[in-house]
Homo-oligomer: A and B are copies of this chain.
């Protein structure tokens, strides 16, 4: 951990992170957990205040984009406006697929909104991956609608997407096992997906759905011969950097 958070008791009071969660609920809670765990705090009071709206009633994002399911945007906008009214200073959305609606979510509020794909690209650099093929695991909607691809290309990487068969056999079952609280059943399909991307030359694989870091727990990540980028941790690290950086700016003024 290279991030050094200044003592928020001295500088950070009143600065609160809003989290549009519930997509799914385990991923939302896990993001709050990992944010606390990655914070170099010595006691409660040095952590970042968080308001997590973990609303699992938001309609399924993939079903809406791929098979005409209910549009989740109104429920997501309601959540964003709730967080803004509650006085948060910045919003994070620990759901990759939700970022297909990023522009609408971002423009609905006056506070800054973190972008999870930008956080993942930052994390690739942090982990020393400067170029080459990057595998992407995610929901069918994230992959088919190209959420990651243009960001990776713009940053000088070559995106590698699972085949349609791999999406159905690896990504989707792993994600839905986590959503149904069958975490142990999620590792096998997820690891098959990672291995398939590794065989095709991936130097790193993005766990590009916030359920996937739960499918592939930290203590099993060394079983793979390549770098894994965890979109939950990447977003949390970006939040820590932003809160830190903003404090530094505030101190310089």
A residues near B (Cβ < 8 Å) are 8-9, 13, 16, 22-26, 28-30, 32-33, 35-37, 39-60, 82, 86, 176, 179-181, 183
* In contact, B32 and A50 (Cβ under 8 angstroms): no
Report copies per complex.
2
Contact of A33 among B29, B35, B40, B42 (CB under 8 A): B29
Closest B residue, CB atoms, query A53? B51
Contact of A22 among B44, B82, B86 (CB under 8 A): B44
Q: Given A29-B32, A33-B29, A86-B86, are A49 and B43 also a contact pair (CB < 8 Å)?
A: no
* In contact, A60 and B41 (Cβ under 8 angstroms): no
Residues of B within 8 A of A44 (CB): 22-25, 56, 58, 60, 179
Contact of A54 among B32, B40, B180, B181 (CB under 8 A): B32
Residues of B within 8 A of A179 (CB): 41, 43-44
A28: min CB distance to chain B, Å: 7
Interface centre among A39, A44, A59 (most CB of B within 10 A): A44
* In contact, B41 and A180 (Cβ under 8 angstroms): yes
A88: min CB distance to chain B, Å: 11
Closest B residue, CB atoms, query A180? B42
Contact of A40 among B45, B47, B181 (CB under 8 A): B181
Q: Given A13-B57, A45-B56, A179-B44, are A26 and B33 also a contact pair (CB < 8 Å)?
A: yes
A145: min CB distance to chain B, Å: 19
Interface centre among A32, A56, A183 (most CB of B within 10 A): A56
A74: min CB distance to chain B, Å: 14
Closest B residue, CB atoms, query A33? B29
Between-chain CB contacts (< 8 Å), 22 pairs = A8-B57, A16-B55, A22-B50, A23-B44, A24-B43, A24-B47, A25-B32, A25-B50, A26-B37, A30-B33, A32-B54, A36-B181, A37-B183, A41-B56, A41-B179, A41-B180, A43-B60, A44-B58, A44-B179, A45-B60, A51-B51, A52-B52
